[in-house]
């Protein structure tokens, strides 16, 4: 990988490219572990320092993106524990409408795609705060899995590696998180979702 070679050579432009590619995503993920945007920013800055210091030790057993998010999650967890001094218990409850997802945590029947006309884009923009609020209301682990899978686009294997979860646990958390989001959106939009 050319970017990795340039990073190992200390190429500043390569580092700027990496930051540009992942910084916003990292803030969103870190925000799922800590209570404020300011602390998330500190976690991300600490992660970037760890990347600079540790790039020579990157063995390539995972993608650079997975390695980067693994560092981030480790640091965010530590910051969250220091911040809260306790780990919230995962919400335990019935799974909502399990038939909406397949065995891998994917939609059994995906929601209809939105067309690209202006009205749909305006509707999507108006829905962003509703979706963000519903996502923020999820239990921590569900929010982390849904954010990494559905917002940041990591694969199931990458999420398992980043969060140190078993495949089964990742599927359950993803399913429950998506179910809670769907229920919240259904409530907000009526039966349209």
Domain of 137, CATH number, reads: 1.10.10.10
Same domain, 105 and 185: yes
31 burial via Cβ count (<10 Å: 0-12, 13-18, 19+):
buried
The count of structural domains within the chain is 2
Of residues 122 and 180, the one with the higher pLDDT is: 180
Q: In this structure, is residue 91 part of a structural domain?
A: no
What's phi and psi for 107, nearest 5 deg?
-60, 130
Mean pLDDT over each residue of the chain, to the nearest integer: 81
Of the three residues 59, 84, 109, the one that is the final residue of a domain is: 84
Full domain range(s) for residue 80: 2-84
- Helices assigned H by DSSP within the chain: 2-8, 12-31, 37-54, 64-84, 118-136, 140-146, 156-163, 167-189
Query: Over 60: is that where the pLDDT of 168 sits?
Result: yes
pLDDT grade, residue 193 (50/70/90)?
Answer: very low
Q: In this structure, is residue 10 part of a structural domain?
A: yes
Q: Tens digits of per-residue pLDDT, 97-108?
A: 667 777 777 777
Average pLDDT over residues 164-191: 84
CATH assignment at residue 19 = 1.10.1740.10
Same domain, 50 and 111: no
Of residues 91 and 26, the one with the higher pLDDT is: 26
Of the candidates 107, 7, 1, which has an alpha carbon nearest to the alpha carbon of residue 52? 7
pLDDT grade, residue 181 (50/70/90)?
Answer: confident
Q: In this structure, is residue 116 part of a structural domain?
A: yes
Of the candidates 104, 40, 117, 108, which has an alpha carbon nearest to the alpha carbon of residue 75? 40
């Amino acid at each position: 990988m050319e970017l990795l070679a340039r990073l190992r050579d200390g190429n500043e432009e390569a580092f700027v490219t990496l930051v540009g590619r992942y910084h916003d995503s990292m803030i969103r993920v870190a925000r799922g572990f800590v209570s404020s945007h300011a602390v998330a920013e500190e976690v991300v800055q600490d992660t970037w320092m760890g990347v600079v210091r540790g790039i020579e030790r990157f063995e390539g057993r995972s993608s650079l993106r997975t390695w980067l998010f693994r560092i981030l999650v480790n640091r965010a967890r530590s910051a969250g524990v220091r911040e809260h001094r306790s780990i919230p218990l995962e919400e335990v409850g019935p799974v909502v409408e399990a038939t909406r997802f397949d065995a891998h945590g994917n939609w059994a029947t995906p929601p209809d795609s939105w067309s690209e006309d202006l009205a749909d884009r305006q509707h999507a923009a108006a829905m962003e705060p509703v979706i963000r609020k519903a996502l923020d209301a999820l239990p921590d682990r569900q929010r982390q899995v849904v954010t990494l899978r559905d917002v940041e686009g990591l694969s199931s294997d990458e999420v398992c590696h980043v969060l140190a979860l078993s495949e089964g646990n990742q599927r359950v958390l993803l399913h429950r998180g998506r179910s809670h989001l769907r229920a919240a959106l259904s409530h907000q939009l009526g039966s349209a979702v």
